[in-house]
Structure 1
Amino acid sequence: MRIKTCLLTATAIACFSSPALAAPGDPIVIEEGWTLDLQANTRLRYETVSQDNAAGDADALTLRGRLGAELAHMGFKVLVEGEGTAALIDDYNDTQPGNGVEPFSVVADPENMELNRIQVSYSDEGFTGTLGRQRVIMGNARFVGNVGWRQNEQTFDAARLQVGTGPFKADAVWAISQRTIFGVDSPNEYFDGNFVFLNAGVDLDVVDVTAFSYIVDYDTRDAFSSQTFGATASAAVPLGAASLDLSATYATQADAGSNPVDYSADFISLTVGTTIAGFNLSANYEELGSDDGVAAFQTPMATLHAFQGWADLFLTTPATGVRDYNVGLRKQFSLPGVGNVTAAVIYHDFDSDFGGIDYGSEWDASLGFKVGPVGLLLKYANYDANAFAVDTEKFWLQAEYSF
């Protein structure tokens, strides 16, 4: 604990107080044609969780640090990056079974020290290939992402090929291991298997269309093995001085590999947005369908925190599915002495897809701005269970700096 804390504190001090050591985006020239890009990130976050159950209120102050170096030569790059998290206040359930009874609500940021990424890549015009432990974000991360909200990032041991020419784009990933957010001391540190992610689309003047396929075949996590096929279309329709932003996604999912349940379920997402007087308004309907209550559409590799409420009550889809009706209001404005500030308020109403169950509702709000090079974020979530789960209230205060 003490060693981890000292290392991470040193990283934080270096990042927050010494940005002049390496200007952002300015790699070091070793010799002609060779560069070395030193990268660092530190994030200090205070998180509280209060739930209407027997678990005690959680208080977590965690410090996450990343240090990396990328050597580049003639389109080739080699990146090595370490990541660690220390708990400065640890009155929370960190999900680690070896830590005994922790009578608090969950904050899924365990203490951890690991090799986050180690990869080799090559890029040429319209082409990038990457091999090794890497960050993978497909589309908007609804099905495959890096779970960037948590302190320990999700990565994959994978081979990736990305190509693009004119309006056409394609992205193909074959992975053999999902390196989760739960850390090296957890039995859920990683899940091996055979995973294939495919995106291909065309970006036209009128509409952007992407077809996708996600094949998830776990070695041991059989209940989450699945095959998903679908497509997304988005368009911006002129509306006077503004525009109407439209997006629609449909997908179908069935069991795959050794999944013991024979099921089929649909995914639907419909979004309408516009900007009026500087306010961004959005309305969304998202459905993770159920096969008559037997099993539901699952997204075990997604960046789940970004969807269905920040309180994270639906990280695993209930067998009866989820229907999420949500509206959001966002605004950017300037404050003297602070600069640009981004504020957001979102309301969710949740129902089941099967069985007519009222899952409750949730209010989310956030405020983000910068003080010099340091990004600050205040964030709040309040879930009203309506007898489905438990009332949950969460608050975050976060500071982050990168170079």
Structure 2
Amino acid sequence: MNRFLIIAFLFAFTVTNAQLKIDAELKPRFEYRHGFKTLFPDDSDPAAFISQRTRLNAGYSMETMDFFLSFQDVRVWGDVPQLNTADNSGLAIHQAWALIDLNSSFSIKVGRQEIVYDDSRFFGNVDWAQQARSHDVAMLKYIDNSFKMDFGLAFNQDGESLTGNTLTTNTYKAFQYVWLHKDWENFSGSFLFLNNGLQFIDTIDSNANETRYGQTVGSHLNYAVGKFRFTSNLYYQFGKDVLNNDLNAYLIGLETYYKATENTTFGLGFELQSGNDNGIPANGKNEAFNPLYGTNHKFNGLMDYFYVGNHIDNIGLLDIHAKASFKLNDTSSLNLALHNFSAAADFSNDQLGNELDIVYSHGIQKYVTLKLGYSHMFESEGMEILKGNFDNNTNNWGWAMLVIKPTLFQNDNK
């Protein structure tokens, strides 16, 4: 009987004036860590493991509404023993949202969803992380030809309760933001304003618990002319941090890309994120920029020494980098990046080091891609002071990943 209902349900999807797409993702990744995120200490063994993300996605579209559901399981091979009666892996709903059209320009998108804007510098889905990032948010969307606007609201709570609104989970309490985007012939620009609320908990007086708000305002710009492309990020933060310090921080980034041939592109750029002198907020002021909900793994080196669960409220960062991208053939590509890192604020030794990143990608077949990566950190004395490690070990990281993304079912009745 249950099988009959499922078959009937799927058949109803296919014969109505709607579109149903079901796809999957399997992403096993082997990693060898010998100085990933921080300098490798003496008398330690390197880490090696295989992590895996498994997703099942279902998208359903009709004339005035879209619905999307994404289940995912995140695990490390072997973290659950064989013949186990229970599974402690990270099975979760990654996305569950509905997009409801109000008219030809306005719509509402509500539910658990990824928020990705521009180059993911401030809002991104952090797809490299097996668990990735999504938000519980309600969004009003507007689109009219080359102009887009999103207005989003989020309010988080531990669960249903009769009294109180203190959040104890490790996330933001609330935010409100507006994102505007406009396209022209050779130029595009975005504007973002975020009012970000973090929960402060007073361990002595619970009546002093409150939400403290910091604001971020900024822009992302793109300009293309001939074989050149220019991109920039400009952000400024003010208001309060969670410890009630006054925020006064900024990010300035600029990149230039030159398409030398149809298959070869070179890039040169820098990113400056402000920081606190000696890595500590002082005199009630916090001058360290926080990229908050961006895909930070994408920036400032793939070894995640900065802003990936670390380096918050610290000495900031000046990242001067050069990049090269080569399309080797129809199915393969090679990307190289070299970063020079230094402190943005006063520090006992400003030079932090250099990092080399190499990523190779090869399409095995339509739904299967192999990716290989190697990174090497050439630390300077400043990095040793920053990380509190003077062991002078080799610091490198290698990985190999399969990305398998088949379409399981799709009809085209829409």
- TM-score in terms of structure 2 length: 0.76
Name the residue aligned to 1:228. Answer: 216
Aligned residues: 343
Shift of 1:166: 2.6
- Give the deviation of 1:253 after TM superposition: 0.7
Q: Which sits farther off after the overlay, 45-54 or 320-329?
A: 45-54
- Deviations 1:138-174 (CA, angstroms, capped at 9, x unpaired): 2211111111101112110001233221332212221
Secondary structure, aligned partner of 1:30: helix
> Among 316, 332, 340, which residue is 1:341 paired with?
332
Q: Distance in 2 between matches of 1:291 and 1:156?
A: 29
SS of 2:380's equivalent in the other structure is coil
Equivalent position of 2:92 in the other structure: 114
Equivalent pair of 2:214/2:241 in contact (CA under 8 Å): yes
Q: Corresponding residue for 1:275?
A: 259
Aligned to 2:303: 311
Say which of 55, 61, 64 aligns to 1:66. Answer: 55
What residue in structure 1 maps to residue 362 of structure 2?
369
Q: Secondary structure at the match of 1:144?
A: coil
CA 1:71–1:350 in 2, change beyond 3 Å: closer, same or farther? same
- Partner amino acid for 2:215? Q
Task: Tell me by how many angstroms 1:68 deviates.
Answer: 2.7
Higher CA-based Rg = 2
Identity of aligned residues (%): 18
For residues 53-132 of structure 1, the aligned pairs below 5 Å read 53-54=41-42, 55-88=44-77, 111-123=89-101, 125-132=104-111
The residue type paired with residue 280 of structure 1 is T
Tell whether the 8 Å contact from 2:276 to 2:313 is kept in structure 1 after alignment: no
Residues 265-298 of structure 1: per-residue CA shift (max 9 Å, x gap)? 1110011111113320101110111255533000
What displacement does 1:80 show? 2.3
Distance 1:344 1:274 in 2: 14
Looking at structure 2, the residues matched to 41 and 166 of structure 1 have their Cα atoms a distance apart, in angstroms, of 33
Match of 2:140 among 161, 175, 181: 161
Q: Which moved more, 1:74-83 or 1:257-266?
A: 257-266
Counterpart of 1:264, as a letter, is N
2:180 aligned to 183, 200, 214, which one? 200
Assess if the C-alpha contact under 8 Å between 2:275 and 2:344 holds in 1. Answer: yes
> Which letter does structure 2 place at the counterpart of 1:331?
F
Q: Would the aligned equivalents of 2:322 and 2:339 in 1 still touch at CA under 8 Å?
A: yes
- Structure 2 distance, partners of 1:376, 1:216, is 38
How far, CA to CA, are the matches of 1:321 and 1:196 in structure 2?
26
More strand by percentage: 1
Give the TM-score normalised by the residue count of structure 1.
0.78
Aligned-residue offset at 1:48:
1.2
> Partner residue of 1:395?
398
Shift of 1:56: 2.9
Alpha-carbon spacing, 1:126–1:330, altered in 2? closer, same or farther (3 Å) = farther
* Aligned equivalents of 2:200, 2:369: Cα separation in 1: 40
Conserved 8 A contact 2:234-2:253? yes
- C-alpha change, 1:313 and 1:386, in structure 2 (3 Å) is same
* Alpha carbons 1:223, 1:260 under 8 Å: kept: no
Q: Can you list the C-alpha shifts for 1:324-370, whole angstroms capped at 9, x where unaligned?
A: 00000101021xxxx42110110000111111511111000100011
2:77 is paired with a residue of what secondary structure? strand
Shift of 1:29: 4.1
CA 1:274 to 1:136, structure 2 compared with 1: closer, same or farther past 3 Å?
Answer: same
RMSD (CA atoms): 2.7
Q: Deviations along 1:234-276, whole A, 9 cap, x unmatched?
A: 21122xxxx2111222221124364422230111001111111
Q: 2:213, 2:292 → 1: CA distance?
A: 9
**Residues in 1 aligned to 2:14 and 2:132: alpha-carbon distance in whole angstroms:** 30
Partners of 1:188 and 1:308 in 2: how far apart? Answer: 31
Tell me, which stretches of 5 or more residues in structure 2 are unaligned? Answer: 1-10, 80-87, 159-166, 202-209, 408-414
Equivalent residue for 2:127? Answer: 148
8 Å contact 1:156–1:176 — kept in the other structure? no
Q: Distance in 2 between matches of 1:170 and 1:163?
A: 5
Unaligned regions of 5+ residues in structure 1, if any? 1-26, 91-109, 180-186
Any idea what SS the aligned residue of 1:170 has?
strand
Alpha-carbon separation, structure 2, partners of 1:366 and 1:213: 34
Secondary structure of 1:85 counterpart: strand
Structure showing greater relative contact order (alpha-carbon pairs closer than 8 Å, 6 or more residues apart): 2
**CA gap 1:214/1:28 in 2 versus in 1, 3 angstroms:** farther
Q: Is the 8 A contact 2:217 2:235 kept in 1?
A: yes
Match of 2:206 in 1: none
Separation in structure 1 between the aligned mates of residue 12 and residue 304 of structure 2, nearest angstrom: 41
Alignment of 1:24-43 (within 5 A): 29-43=13-27
Q: Give distance in 1, aligned partners of 2:248 and 2:378.
A: 30
Paired with 2:14 and 2:41, the residues of 1 have a C-alpha distance of 58
CA distance in 1, matches of 2:259, 2:100: 40
Correspondence 1:138 to 2:117: yes
The alpha-carbon deviation at position 312 of structure 1 amounts to 0.1
8 Å contact 2:197–2:211 — kept in the other structure? no
Question: Is this contact kept in 1: 2:199–2:211, CA < 8 A?
Answer: no
C-alpha contact (below 8 Å) 1:224/1:298 kept by paired residues? no
What amino acid maps onto 1:359 in structure 2?
A: L
| CA shift for structure 1 position 216 | 1.4
Q: Is the 8 A contact 1:79 1:120 kept in 2?
A: yes
The CA distance in 1 between the partners of 2:335 and 2:326, in whole Å, is 7
Q: Give yes or no for contact 1:286–1:324 (8 Å, CA) kept in 2.
A: yes
Greater shift after overlay, 252-261 or 302-311? 252-261
